[in-house]
Amino acid sequence: MKERLTIVKVGGAVVEDEAQLSALLHDFAAIDGRKLLVHGGGRKATQVAASLGIETKMIDGRRITDRDMLSVVTMVYGGLVNKNVVARLQAQGLKAIGLTGADADVIRSHRRPLKNGVDYGFVGDVDRVDGQLLHTFVEEGLVPVMAPLTHDGQGSLLNTNADTIAAETAKALAQLYDVTLVYSFEKAGVLRNPDDEGSVIPLITREDFERYKADGTISGGMIPKIENALQAVEAGVDRVVITLATAIDGQHGTVIQR
Question: What fold does the segment set 4-186+248-253 form as a domain?
Answer: Carbamate kinase (3.40.1160)
> What pTM was computed for the model?
0.94
Pairing of strands 157-159, 239-244: unpaired
- pLDDT tens digits, 212-258: 999 999 988 888 889 989 999 999 999 999 999 889 987 889 999 88
d(CA 21, CA 199) in angstroms, rounded, equals 25
pLDDT confidence band for 199 (50 / 70 / 90): very high
Average pLDDT, the chain: 94
**Helical residues (DSSP H) of 31-161, grouped into ranges:** 42-51, 67-73, 82-91, 131-139
DSSP E strands, 119-167: 124-129, 142-146, 149-151, 157-159
pLDDT confidence band for 148 (50 / 70 / 90): very high
Asked if pLDDT for residue 152 goes beyond 90, the answer is yes
How much is the average pLDDT of 2-21? 90
Q: Tell me if 7 sits within 8 A of 247, measured CB to CB.
A: no
CA 39 to chain centre: 5
All residues at 6 or more sequence positions from 28 whose CB lies less than 8 Å from its CB, including other chains: 8, 35, 37, 89, 92, 248
